Each structure stands twice: as C-alpha cells, then as structure tokens.
Amino acid sequence: MKKIEAIIQPFKLDEVKNALTGIGVDGITISEVRGHGRQKGHTEVYRGAEYKVDLIPKVKLEIVAADARVAQIVQTLTDAARSGKIGDGKIFVSSMEDAIRIRNGDHGDSAL
C-alpha cells in the first residue's frame, strides 16, 4: 500500500480529478496549501511599500492505493497536471502501513 501526494497548480485540479476518476480512483483528499519550490516567488508593491509573494497557493491531493495501481496513477497524474511551465508541482510516493475503514473496521487494501 502506498500514499501518493501530489502538489499541483490549483487551476489543474478539475482536469486531474477527472483523469483520476477516469482510471477508477475512488478516494481522493485535497487541501489548499501554500509553499514554494525552486521558484522563489516575486515582489509586489502595496500602497508604495514592497512585499514578497513567496508562498504560492497550490492544491495538494492525497491518494492511498494498492501497490499495483501506483504506476498508473502517477502517470495519469503527471500527464493531467503538466503544463510544461515552472510551478507545475511535485508528486511524492511513500509507503503506507495500514488503512482502516471507520464504518466497519476493515483493514488493508479492502479498506481503500
């Protein structure tokens, strides 16, 4: 079992979501986040005083999937979220120990 975390451009969310639903991914959790990578943001002027905009709004998707599905999901994610410009984001994959469905106490892949 793996957890896939993808940080993507907010305006790509709908496209990514549709692509994932298209390949049968049932569970997605998203959150609005801010951050920066190598692209360090820029300065703006407010009423004559400068300020840095270096924490840029992004959307984070979290998907937990069975090992066999990870490659396909990552590929779909990459294709759908890519615009080819700086700031497209990153995907992180990590191992997940267990998953529990709260309603009935199922464990492991069957809880996904």
Partner 1 sequence: MKAQKTSSSGRRNRSAKKVFQVCSLLLLAASIFLGLLTPLLADDPKPDPAGIATGDKSNAVDGGGTAFMVSEPTDKTAPNYAQAKKDFDDFKAQADKEPLAVKLADTVGHVRVATNAAWTLNTGYLVLFMQAGFALLTCGLVRKKNAAHLMMLNFAAYVFAFVAYWAVGYAFQFGAVAVNAAPTNLGGTPTLNHFLLGSGLWGFLGGKGFFLAGPAYDAGSNVLILFEVVFMETAGYIIVGSICERITFWSFILCELFVGGILYPVFGCWVWGGGWLSQIGTTMGMGHGYVDFAGSTVVHAIGGFCAMALSVVLGPRLGKYGKDGKPRAFPAHNIVFVVTGTFILLFGWMGFNPGSTLGATDLRISVIAINTNLAAIMGSASAMLFWYMKFGKPDISMACNGMLAGLVAITAPCAFVGPTSAVIIGILAGLVVCLGVLFNDHVTKIDDPCGAISVHGFCGVLGAICLGLFADGTYGAGWNGVGATTYLGKAGQGVTGLLYGDSSQFLTQLMGAAICAAWAFGATFVVFKIVNAVKSMRVSREAEEEGLDVPEFGMVAYPEDSLHATEA
Asked if residues 2 and 71 have their Cβ atoms less than 8 Å apart, the reply is: no
Rounded Cα distance, 4 and 25, in Å? 12
| Contact between 24 and partner 1 per CB under 8 A | no
Q: Tell me, residue by residue from 41 to 80, as one string, x for binding to partner 1 by CB under 8 A and - for no binding.
A: ---xxxxxxxx-----------------------------
Rounded Cα distance, 79 and 4, in Å? 15
Closest separation in Å from C-beta 33 to partner 1 = 15
Phi-psi region of 67 (alpha: psi -120 to 50; beta: other; left: phi over 0): alpha
- The residue among 40 and 47 lying less far from partner 1, judged by its C-beta, is 47
Instruction: Give the total of residues touching partner 1 (CB under 8 A).
Output: 8
Radius of gyration of the chain (CA): 17
Task: Check residue 23 and report its DSSP letter.
Answer: T
- The residue among 11 and 51 lying less far from partner 1, judged by its C-beta, is 51
Footprint of partner 1 on this chain (CB under 8 A)? 44-51
